[in-house]
Amino acid sequence: MTKIATWNVNSVKARLPHLVDWLKTASPDVVLLQEIKCVTEEFPRLEVEAAGYCCEVIGQKAYNGVAIVAKQKISDVIYELPGGADDDHARYIEGTVGDVRVASIYLPNGNPIDSPKFAYKLGFLERLRVHALGLFASERPVVLGGDYNVCPTDEDVWDVRAMARDALVQPETRAAFRKILHQGWTDAIRTLRPHGRHYTYWDYFQNRFTRDHGLRIDHLLLSPAAADRLKDAGIDRGPRAKEKASDHTPVWCELQ
């Protein structure tokens, strides 16, 4: 069994005790990290390696940054999403662990929607769609995990009216995400838990975690070869309940 997780840690140095503790207790085989918020050289590699994991990282000072952390060697790594010649954001890393190709994705937030940030978000989603086509055509087991900053449906939002002008729920955002899904990718959580409110993110504002006012924006998309091996998937709310927690919590799947 291979356990693959995605987690926006919202500063890896600030959450390092939580990350190391979770690596030891949950024992995932692969973790796809987002928003590490440090340059590559400052990633806490020694601490993560001491917990039994290899690391591949592409960082950026104070913002963004993604990593793959795995119990096995990570090979054939690429450190950016193709198609963005002028994009200097550290938002994508991809590599092979065992026989599975994995990617850690930190999609742009896109707010406000009347700014260039929203156009950047939609452009990033289109680049991801094009790249995902090639990964899909490889017929390999592939897991595209990360913070997509997309609530695919109203059921993934605690208050639809409050979010009406948010980039995460705009029709254009959802349509772009669906274009990727419609290639044939499987949403691990919704496949096994098709109904109900299964949130992955709770804002720090107004005690939203304790009130369960959340969003489902962290996703694991599986190619057919990976989906055929899907045994289980879930959301581990434990790390979000801790003091000084990230506002996201790990999402995981198990492949036979």
What is the 8-class DSSP label of residue 248?
A: B
Q: In CATH, what number is assigned to the domain containing residue 151?
A: 3.60.10.10
Overall average pLDDT of the 55-69 stretch: 98
Query: What's the pLDDT score for residue 251?
Result: 98
Give the model confidence (pLDDT) of 225-251 as tens digits. Answer: 999 999 999 999 999 999 999 999 999
68 Cα distance to chain centroid: 11
What are the C-alpha distances in Å from 142 to residues 95, 99, 133, 234, 236? Answer: 10, 9, 11, 18, 22
CA distance 133 to 248: 28
Query: What's the pLDDT score for residue 58?
Result: 98
Please say whether the beta carbons of 226 and 255 come within 8 A. yes
Q: Which domain holds residue 237?
A: 2-255
Tokens of 85: 């010649």
Band the pLDDT of 66: cuts 50, 70, 90: very high
Query: What's the pLDDT score for residue 48?
Result: 98
Give the model confidence (pLDDT) of 101-138 as tens digits. Answer: 999 999 999 999 999 999 999 999 999 999 999 999 99
Q: How many structural domains is the chain composed of? A: 1
Three-class SS state of 78: strand
Residues 6+ apart with CB under 8 A from 222: 141, 142, 143, 144, 185, 186, 188, 230, 253
Average pLDDT, the chain: 97
Query: What's the pLDDT score for residue 242?
Result: 97
Q: Is residue 28 reached through a cis peptide bond, with omega within 30 degrees of 0 on the bond before it?
A: no
How many other C-beta atoms are found inside a 10 Å radius of the C-beta of residue 204? 11
45: enclosing H helix or E strand: helix 45-50
Which sign does the torsion angle of CA 189, 144, 102, 137 carry? positive
Query: What's the pLDDT score for residue 93?
Result: 98
Give the model confidence (pLDDT) of 184-213 as tens digits. Answer: 999 999 999 999 999 999 999 999 999 999
In 3-state terms, the chain is what percent helix, strand and coil (to 5)?
A: 30, 25, 45
Please say whether the beta carbons of 247 and 201 come within 8 A. yes
